[in-house]
Amino acid sequence: MSEKVIMKTYAKGARSERELLKFLDYKGFSCVRSASSGGFFSPVDIVATKKGFIIAIECKAWSTKPKLKKEKLREFKKWCERAGAKGFLAWYNNAKWKFLRIEDAEKNKYEDENWFSLNDFLRLIDLYG
């Protein structure tokens, strides 16, 4: 893959992550976007917290439905357990967000009915936060 394509892909992902940060901030969460996302120390892209409730999100801005590799999923789950965070896989495609609970990803439940919309995700985190 060329450097130009890599930079374009990175910019698309970063732009979508910043958009999600705005939604979470609007809901009263304090948020950070991890600079080493996908790296050894931080397998998450976004961490959001509100009054002790912590969300960890791995974001994908892909044209096809993402599926995490087993090692990536294992590291993500381990990170969430250590942090006491609820983990989600977020997928941005065609200007829409979809979310999958880490528990569903672990059970290989990537079917459409297990993903939920941005509005449903925001309602869900309102219940916790």
* Count of domains for the chain: 1
φ, ψ of residue 120 in degrees (nearest 5): -65, -40
What's the confidence (pLDDT) of residue 11?
Answer: 55
Q: Please tell me the chain's helix, strand, coil percentages from 3-state DSSP, rounded to the nearest 5.
A: 45, 25, 30
Give the pLDDT of the chain (129 residues) as one tens digit per residue: 555 544 455 555 577 898 999 999 999 999 999 865 555 556 899 999 999 999 999 999 889 999 999 999 999 999 999 999 999 999 999 999 999 999 999 999 999 999 999 999 999 888 876
Q: Distance between CA atoms of 127 and 122, rounded to whole angstroms? A: 9
Both tokens assigned to 64: 């096809």
Start-end of H helices in the chain: 3-26, 70-83, 102-106, 118-128
Q: Give Cβ neighbours of residue 122 (< 8 Å, ≥ 6 apart).
A: 23, 27
Q: Which among 24, 80, 23 is positioned nearest to 88, based on CA atoms?
A: 80
Residue 119 tokens, joined: 């509005």
CATH code for position 31: 3.40.1350.10
Measured between its terminal Cα atoms, the distance across the chain in Å is 41
Q: Which domain holds residue 57?
A: 3-128
